[in-house]
Amino acid sequence: MRIVFIGDIFGRSGREALQKHLPAIKETLNPDAVIVNGENAANGAGITEKICKQFYEWGVDCITTGNHVWDQREVIPYIARDKKLLRPVNYPPGTPGVGVCRLKISEGRTLTVINAMARLFMDALDDPFAALNEIVKEERLGKTTDAILLDFHGETTSEKMSMGHYLDGKVSCVIGTHTHIPTADAQVLPGGTAYQTDAGMTGDYVSVIGVEKEIAMHRFVKKMPGERMRPASGEGTLCGALIVTNDKTGKAISIEPIRMGGSLSQAMPAA
């Protein structure tokens, strides 16, 4: 199975980068599924029904989120209806929406997408390790599902790397989001799980993690509140990864970075 995962879509620049580059990704890499993290797609804070529908029209199969999922309040009734728009699975019981999606793809195969959120320097949610442990008891690679991808949304490299090793051999891929900077550690772990600490942001990198750099710098230099944060509006870089799995075992064969457009060095897996 060939899975494309695209990191945090940040504001208009991120949406434009997705719209611009996704057709070439689909044509060149021929993915079976495209997953994006969309929690910052609406002006850098949250996501809306309109944006979700645009993403689906452009060829996205499932949308993950994170701690900004509720920033646009209109999404609350919508997420209860859209089972392909995920919120972290370790939110308390009764929270609207779901954290797991089972996608039916070509040749009768199934891809299970999971969204979970870390806890270090993040909101105090339920234990993500315990939540994932229960899920992988039911969703078993090569038996109940053909592949499992986890978007682990978190601040610290240590917690994300711990999750990767904790699930090694039990899921196809653990890929991190939230810090908006692509890490250089894409690898297949010893048990067969593809891993990357952070897929990076899809947005304008002539910025401070997607925000206009002057506004962000002011807060560090002056140590005082300044203007409201605004997404940078230059050309965006699409960041993500291609994960290839073995259809018999569900384990990963490879993970390779994708970087297209904007100011970062470019990277595209071989077709």
For the chain, the maximum distance between any two Cα atoms, rounded to a whole number of angstroms, is: 58
68 is catalytic: yes
Q: Which residues, in sequence order, are bridge partners of residue 255?
A: 243
Give the chain's end-to-end CA distance (angstroms, integer): 14
Compute the distance between CA of residue 62 and CA of residue 52 in angstroms, rounded to an integer: 9
Whether the CB-CB separation of 47 and 75 falls below 8 Å is answered with: yes
Number of H-type helices and E-type strands within the chain: 6, 11
Compute the distance between CA of residue 120 and CA of residue 161 in angstroms, rounded to an integer: 13
3-state helix, strand, coil in the chain (%, to 5): 25, 30, 45
Place of tokens 């959120």: 117
Helical axes 157-166 vs 128-138, angle rounded to 10°:
20
Given the residues 68, 153, 178, 180, the one annotated as active site:
68
3-state secondary structure of 101: strand
**Judging by DSSP bridges, how do beta strands 238-245 and 252-260 pair with one another?**
antiparallel
Compute the distance between CA of residue 29 and CA of residue 34 in angstroms, rounded to an integer: 11
Place of tokens 């392909």: 84
**Annotated active-site positions, please?**
68
